[in-house]
Structures are given as C-alpha cells and as structure tokens.
A and B are shown apart, each in its own frame.
Chain A
Amino acid sequence: AQTVTQSQPEMSVQEAETVTLSCTYDTSESDYYLFWYKQPPSRQMILVIRQEAYKQQNATENRFSVNFQKAAKSFSLKISDSQLGDAAMYFCAYQFTSGTYKYIFGTGTRLKVLA
C-alpha cells in the first residue's frame, strides 16, 4: 500500500534562513504526482508546489523548491529566505495517476519561524 511519511513533526527556522522539510513515500507505481501543501493557523490549506514523477527536473516556485529523488522515494521541500508568513503546517501528499486519483497525505510538519 502507498504511504507517505513525514518524520519531522516540528521544525524551527530563523527568519531569512533556509529550512528543508523531509518526506518519503512508498509506492510501486512509476507515474504519480507529489505535492506540498501549506496550512497556516486557522486558515485554508493551499498548494505550495507540485512535482510530476516522470519529470526529472525539480519543481520550483519562488522561494520554494523540492529535491525529488525518485529512486530513493524522497521528496523534500526547501524554503529559502524564510518569512514569518511561512509558519504553518506543511503536508506532503501523493496522488495516483492511474485508475483512482485519490490523495495520500503525510501527518504533517509544523514549521515555526523565529524572528
């Protein structure tokens, strides 16, 4: 069965510094999508970044980038120049591309940004 593991329940980063959140997953599929979602306190969850498994190039969105290691089944999120507004729960998610399209989420990493 497909699983998504986020081994860091909580992390802290100093404002303007860089932080990396880890995510590993297990699947026998060759084609799938991976996502990082951000859930700020008492606010709606939003998509941070998306990676298609068939693409070798790592996705980037402004200060957010991923390190996608398909063979190692690793999908980490790097946040550069951290800002106070980055404080949130971050969820890693996997989506099947064949047959069903359901998502599997990790348990989340709470990121604190220190001023």
Chain B
Amino acid sequence: KAGVTQTPRYLIKTRGQQVTLSCSPISGHRSVSWYQQTPGQGLQFLFEYFSETQRNKGNFPGRFSGRQFSNSRSEMNVSTLELGDSALYLCASSLTGFGTDTQYFGPGTRLTVL
C-alpha cells in the first residue's frame, strides 16, 4: 500500500503571497489531519477533515484553510503569507480519525516565506 504523499516537498514564497499544499492519504483512509511543525512550537494541529467535512479545527487564523475531496485527497491553503508561516507542514491520514486508528504521516512540505 502506498503511504501518505505530500506535494510539493519544498516551497519558497514571499510575504503576501498565497500557497496551496496537497496531501494524498493512504487508500481507504477517510480522515486527513494537518499540522504545522516549527522548532520552538513542536506540532500544532491545524484542522481535520473526514468525508469532505471539516470536523475539527485548531487555533489558527482564518488565513489557513483547507478542503477535502471525494477521493479523500486534501488541500491546505494559506493566504497572505507571513514570515512566521515558515514551517514544515505535515498531513496525516487514518481510517476514521479515532484514537484506536493509527495516524500515518506524510513526509511534509517545507514552506519558506521570505
């Protein structure tokens, strides 16, 4: 079974631009979660999608948004980029999103904002 894939792997943007990151979950997984990883803050939960619906949301500004498609693939969008948005963005998929299911993480997208 193919693992979780994320594209692109690296991105360089400038302040004020917007960016879209993509995540393809493991086949059959319906839950996709997104996290922001920075050296000082660790991993912070952005949001979780299940069957095309946003089920949970972390404490991030409205500039961060996402969506999930009928094939469970998910995209995350960040508008009006700020320097502080530079981070590794990880997505993870699981069957249902419940704690009994193992979350499988992708390799991440490294976003650098100049």
Contact = CB atoms under 8 A, between A and B. Distances in A.
Contacts of B92: 45
Given A44-B3, A45-B90, A107 B41 contact: yes
Interface string A70-100: 0000000000000000000001010101001
A44 to B, nearest CB: 5
Contacts, number: 58
A91 B4 CA distance: 19
Contact of A107 (B35, B42, B58): B42
A105 B44 contact: yes
A91 B43 contact: yes
B43 A105 contact: yes
Contacts of A93: 43
A101 B42 contact: no
A87 B99 CA distance: 26
Contacts of B98: 97, 101
Size range of the chain B interface in the assembly: 20 to 34
A56 B55 CA distance: 30
Nearest to B90: A45
Interface string B74-103: 000000000000000010100001111011
B68 interface: no
Contact of B99 (A43, A97, A104, A108): A97
B107 A52 contact: no
A33 interface: yes
B72 interface: no
Nearest to B102: A47
B99 A44 contact: no
A21 to B, nearest CB: 14
Interface of A: 32-33, 35, 37, 43-47, 50, 52, 91, 93, 95, 97, 100-108
Q: Enumerate the 7 nearest inter-chain pairs by beta-carbon distance, A residue then B residue, closest first.
A: A33-B99, A107-B42, A105-B43, A45-B105, A102-B56, A100-B56, A95-B99
